Chain A
């Protein structure tokens, strides 16, 4: 090894300074400079600061490490948009300190979870995810409903973040459990822009008669799908829970295309639509299964 005694490798202070400058160049170019550009500080018109209860819920989301399994950003990719809803916009996160986009989807993305299900869905699902999806690997959170929100801490947080709040909000906070707070946070996620389904089905386009009518295979397939995706809300025996009893529904002998329409498009705030997630055939199979309930 040739050694030049006057090289930088013999001068510790010089090497330290040059190394520091070397690592700062990329830092300044990609982190510090963008900080002072407008593109890094956008805000969607419909975005409001978190309410006290929502912020308390967000704190719980952080404390429980939900970010380990759930992302909060929908990519501008076809399958992402179909599965989760409109892709995420930079301006939706102006009040997020820190951002909670995450890096792993062991569970589904939550960027558009707000308003997708009724509150009761979340309450029961946090209590036991396995009651909805028997093989789900999400941990149950039964203790949340028994623990009150730490109101003083949350108010300190609201002040630290300069978020506005009313006396009524403080009162609400004091009477809330951690579960109430977490559900409130879930329900506000992704709601600063108008919700739109990736795929909706026009009633006129649905054939009046089910193409699978009378097929025993279709009923079996429908039952399997029902158990996997619908039983949480409508009950294991379809006798209703959060959602209506489908046994009762089947007694009304509704036309197949009406049932198809409801499954495909859902109800705002009550039931998600399945047009993007289930093929034609799968939806008809569920229709057949529901029709078969009246004979049981």
Chain B
């Protein structure tokens, strides 16, 4: 038994919880994807599209994404500081509060408690619980880092620190509200100002919940699993500081052509374009790390996960800024192009790297090997195909929608009615449902592999203990 054993139990708890919420969120995703092309699949008040779509995004973002991040952050921090968590019991409480919180949050959305702020939909009592949850997490993480046994802080810890601090600022400011009843509140900010605050939050939720934490994992687990050191420390430094500086200026690219003052829009677009540089700093750093031996892409399954994952991060951070440019925004904004973009990031980058990190971490904790590399490879190809099929079909139908909305007839009238543009989406939306099924099957392979590895690991630990 090593001294960190107790903390690992919490880490595993978060992994299992994240997977549980992931399954629920994915099933909800499949159902709403089918509701998009057949309204008869709206089963009454609590399972109608408007409520269920909010449920889907939140359960996956907060349940799967953040749940996995909590677990992996605890692990990374323990390893890099060479000490157990300062308050292991608090971490245990954190795990329980997290699960109760996500359950209540999910139910509240289905019950119609919804602030209508995208990615900040929860009503104020749940917001307070989330802030408490985050503070508990921050105390443990920062406390452990501040009292670390290893003097130098590795890159991943910088990203961890930036995540913990920035998410707190974002979440608290955007959720400031005037409560009317226990279940209903109104944004402290009104109209244009409300829009500006919300998308500053919304875009940076992507930045600090789906970028910096995943980069922390990438910088830690890529060298660990491949045995290759990160290519350039200097590039890590430049990328880190420029990324966290530039991100906060960019929210207004979500509000192009809205009544938000033009100067804020333009400033947002400019910084968004700049953001390509630090994003690609990490991409290039990843590529050159593996450049020492590209054959690992064939021989070592985790290298494949991490490098394809960072490739989608690279594509995402080229596509995102290009979407911010006014002329491109005018075509694709409000269409299915944007969900296509989001799903490339979440399915191709975030989930890919989280799964790969778990594949490395679980056997390391149990001092054993992964149950089956073959199953991991099947998982890899299925989620890759599912993700590509989903994103690409959304991009095609997005461009088609945007074009149909704009097209005019010879006499200057609009060429297509809204309904005509809608109906043309249906074949692509059916394709998306199929893509979702393929992705979910891939994830089931992952879950099976995780389950069997844990089972094998427990037996192994018992044997080690007996010996």
- Using CB atoms and an 8 Å cutoff, list the residues of chain A in contact with chain B: 1-3, 5, 9-10, 12-13, 15-16, 19-20, 22-27, 29-31, 34-35, 39-42, 59, 61-69, 71, 73, 75-77, 79-80, 82-83, 88-90, 92-108, 129-130, 133, 135-141, 143, 153, 156-157, 159-161, 199, 228-229, 275-280, 282
A139 with B48, Cβ < 8 A, contacts A2-B233, A35-B193, A90-B259 known:
yes
15 contacts between A and B (CB under 8 A): A23-B162, A24-B169, A27-B248, A29-B249, A65-B50, A79-B405, A79-B406, A90-B191, A90-B259, A92-B191, A93-B191, A139-B50, A156-B184, A161-B178, A229-B419
Contact A103–B196 (Cβ < 8 Å): no
Residue among B152, B186, B244, B255 making CB contact with A161, cutoff 8 Å: B186
Contact B418–A108 (Cβ < 8 Å): yes
Contact B116–A30 (Cβ < 8 Å): no
Contact B112–A34 (Cβ < 8 Å): no
Which among B10-18, B89-97, B332-340 touches the partner chain? Answer: B332-340
What chain A residues lie within 8 Å of B189 (beta carbons)? 35, 97-98
**Bound complex: CA of A189 vs CA of B270, how far in Å?**
33
- In the complex, B45 has a CB within 8 A of chain A: yes
Separation in Å of the A109 CB from the closest CB of chain B? 8
What chain B residues lie within 8 Å of A278 (beta carbons)? 413-414
Tell me the chain B residues, 191-217 only, with Cβ under 8 Å from chain A: 191-198, 200
**Bound complex: CA of A92 vs CA of B206, how far in Å?**
29
Contact A83–B418 (Cβ < 8 Å): yes
Contact B244–A19 (Cβ < 8 Å): yes
What chain A residues lie within 8 Å of B188 (beta carbons)? 97
Separation in Å of the B408 CB from the closest CB of chain A? 7
Complex: chain B residue closest to A20, CB-CB: B165
Contact B50–A68 (Cβ < 8 Å): yes
**Bound complex: CA of A108 vs CA of B145, how far in Å?**
50
Tell me the chain B residues, 246-289 only, with Cβ under 8 Å from chain A: 246-252, 254-255, 257-261, 264, 267-268, 271
- Using CB atoms and an 8 Å cutoff, list the residues of chain B in contact with chain A: 35-39, 42, 44-45, 48-51, 53-54, 112-118, 142, 145-146, 148, 151-153, 157-158, 161-162, 165-166, 169, 173, 178-181, 183-198, 200, 229, 233, 241, 244-252, 254-255, 257-261, 264, 267-268, 271, 330, 333-335, 338-339, 405-415, 417-420, 422-423, 426
Contact B184–A59 (Cβ < 8 Å): yes
What chain B residues lie within 8 Å of A42 (beta carbons)? 191-192
Contact B39–A138 (Cβ < 8 Å): yes
What chain A residues lie within 8 Å of B148 (beta carbons)? 12
Separation in Å of the A49 CB from the closest CB of chain B? 11
What chain B residues lie within 8 Å of A76 (beta carbons)? 257
Complex: chain B residue closest to A136, CB-CB: B39
Residue among A79, A99, A130, A282 making CB contact with B192, cutoff 8 Å: A99
What chain B residues lie within 8 Å of A25 (beta carbons)? 245, 248
Contact B418–A65 (Cβ < 8 Å): no
Contact A75–B330 (Cβ < 8 Å): yes
Contact A156–B181 (Cβ < 8 Å): yes
